[in-house]
Structure 1
Amino acid sequence: MSSHSLPISSLLALFFLVVLTRVPTILSVDDPRYSICRGTLTCGSVSNISYPFWGWNRPSYCGQTGFELRCENDITEIMMNENTLRVLDIDPERQILKVAREDYWNGYCPSKLINTSINYDHFNYGLNLRNLTLFYGCYSPITPTFSVFTNCTINSTLTDMSYATRNMLSDPRYSICRGIVVVPVYDAAAQDLEVNLMTMQAALRGGFELQWEADNDKCRRCRDSDGVCGFNETSNSFTCFCSDKPSETTCLPPTEGTF
């Protein structure tokens, strides 16, 4: 035996050392979707947003259809039908999304008159809201709830803009208006508008709240099992991404008392 040869015991020890150093590497291999969907969304003042929202650094399988967020010049936006809504705040615990009409953020004269509409498959309007109705190009008398506010140039056409903080859409006098746009605002903001016309921009920028519900209980159970909430785009259903593979429910077997 060469003087440079290692004894059998040393060779065995070296073998087990190599194996043991490789085991953690093998066990730590994650499902890439698990790793990717652990990342959160941050854009401007909106931060640390996860399921059911997705966008830019979170692929579509990290959230649900209808919850895509965009980041434009550090402004978080969400599209609902024809409306681009500026996201002012997201409260994951209460499932509340606070938004404002982007086309009314800097004025009252948008390039296109579009009524406010939301995706009722996922959202409902929050509480303490009132409809602010904006009338364009009407020939209506001034009343306590209907005030001529300003003139607008829309598509190169000069028109007056008036507003009401009460429901007046059933009044036939306003059926000949060139356009009518309804924008939800907080009830307190509408009350301010009834006594101070100059609070119009503040009312519009104050936005309104939307309530969402998206597999909240399933997602909670998934997170409690160290999983990451996601979406199976093939079956169009919730999925729980685990470190090794997806699950329909949780990453760990349910323990006694879990339901």
Structure 2
Amino acid sequence: MEQEDLCPPSSCGEITNITHPFRLKGDPIGCGDKRYELACENDVTVLYLYWGKYNVEAINYDNFTVRVVDPGLQQQNCSSLPRYFLSLSNFSDAIGYSDITDPYQASYRIDYSVDQVFQHIVLLNCSHPVADNDKYVNSGSCVKWESEGYIYAIAGDLIAEDFEVGCHVKLVTPTSWRGLHTHKLSYTTILEALLYGFDISWMAGACDHKCGNLSAQRSDCQFDSSKHALRCGKHGSRYPLF
């Protein structure tokens, strides 16, 4: 029996299923993986990611994701904003899935493809109102930076052709809410997406635990959606080793 099997789940606030590879700060040595250590602060489970501290909303052990929310966001307060600037470029797997150095990833490998687990919301401050551009969602009276300019949100990546004269980026933040492409967007919808939070993946760590050192073995690891399980195989092969 492995050590992780001897460790009872930990809990903090609404998160009651904290188990391997996660651990709470203060759990016994040998329980969980230090790379995935969470903290319990004021009865809220928090995850430290790069320079930020995020509230944990859910841990999904079936698809190897954890959903977190920026603590600057508040229910029933449309003027609340994320505290942290965070985008795909902050994660090492943005360079390539074989170049992962972080415990958390912005993507995972599923059925021999790589899928992102979140998309961006970009907030811009414009010196004048923006008309005739449906991508720009007006925050109305909700958001003001230093009481100057007009604040707009864009769902998804910001490309060069989206830039309007007199606008500049104030904040980029992730969301994994799936309704952004099925609704006519309003700032209420944008806020709902922000409050939902975003997923990050720990699949790379789960693959190392199941398959061993992938680089040393020249092996690959995928999530098989038909079996809801990780599969280990030779690099570039579609056939599992075990």
Greater helix percent: which structure? 1
Q: What residue in structure 2 maps to residue 152 of structure 1?
A: 143
Relative to 1, partners in 2 of residues 1:161 and 1:65: Cα closer, same or farther, differing over 3 Å?
farther
Report Cα offsets for 1:149-193 as digits up to 9, x if no partner: 135355xx224421012433424536752x432222236321255
Q: What residue in structure 2 maps to residue 130 of structure 1?
A: 119
Q: What residue in structure 1 maps to residue 154 of structure 2?
A: 164
Contact 2:91 2:106 survives alignment (8 Å)? no
Structure 2 portions without partners, runs of 5+: 93-101, 108-115, 212-241
Q: What residue in structure 2 maps to residue 205 of structure 1?
A: 195
Deviation of 1:74 after TM superposition, in Å, equals 2.4
Contact 2:138 2:186 survives alignment (8 Å)? no
Separation in 1, partners of 2:86, 2:128: 20
Relative to 1, partners in 2 of residues 1:55 and 1:197: Cα closer, same or farther, differing over 3 Å?
same
SS at match of 1:152: coil
What is the TM-score normalised by the length of structure 2?
Answer: 0.61
Relative to 1, partners in 2 of residues 1:145 and 1:52: Cα closer, same or farther, differing over 3 Å?
same
Separation in 2, partners of 1:111, 1:93: 28
Superposed, 1:206-225 pairs within 5 Å as: 206-213=196-203, 215-216=205-206, 219=209
Q: What residue in structure 2 maps to residue 69 of structure 1?
A: 38
Superposed, 1:1-259 pairs within 5 Å as: 38-58=7-27, 61-106=30-75, 107-110=78-81, 114-116=85-87, 120=92, 121-126=102-107, 127=116, 129-136=118-125, 138-139=127-128, 141-142=130-131, 143-150=133-140, 151-153=142-144, 157-159=146-148, 160-170=150-160, 171-173=162-164, 176-177=167-168, 179-186=169-176, 188-191=178-181, 194-213=184-203, 215-216=205-206, 219=209
Separation in 2, partners of 1:214, 1:75: 26
Contact 1:78 1:84 survives alignment (8 Å)? yes
Contact 2:82 2:173 survives alignment (8 Å)? no
Q: What residue in structure 1 maps to residue 229 of structure 2?
A: none
Structure 1 portions without partners, runs of 5+: 1-33, 222-258
CA RMSD of aligned residues (A): 3.5
Separation in 2, partners of 1:77, 1:67: 11
Report Cα offsets for 1:230-259 as digits up to 9, x if no partner: xxxxxxxxxxxxxxxxxxxxxxxxxxxxx8
Indicate the larger mover: 127-136 or 210-219.
210-219
Between the two proteins, the alignment pairs up a number of residues equal to 187
Relative to 1, partners in 2 of residues 1:158 and 1:172: Cα closer, same or farther, differing over 3 Å?
same
Report Cα offsets for 1:53-94 as digits up to 9, x if no partner: 222331575333442212223221101112222211112232
Contact 1:39 1:58 survives alignment (8 Å)? no
Relative to 1, partners in 2 of residues 1:37 and 1:196: Cα closer, same or farther, differing over 3 Å?
same
Separation in 2, partners of 1:79, 1:190: 27
| Higher Rg of the two aligned structures | 1
Report Cα offsets for 1:182-221 as digits up to 9, x if no partner: 2222363212553343223221121222221355367569
Relative to 1, partners in 2 of residues 1:40 and 1:104: Cα closer, same or farther, differing over 3 Å?
same
**Percent identity between the aligned chains?**
17
Q: What residue in structure 1 maps to residue 95 of structure 2?
A: none
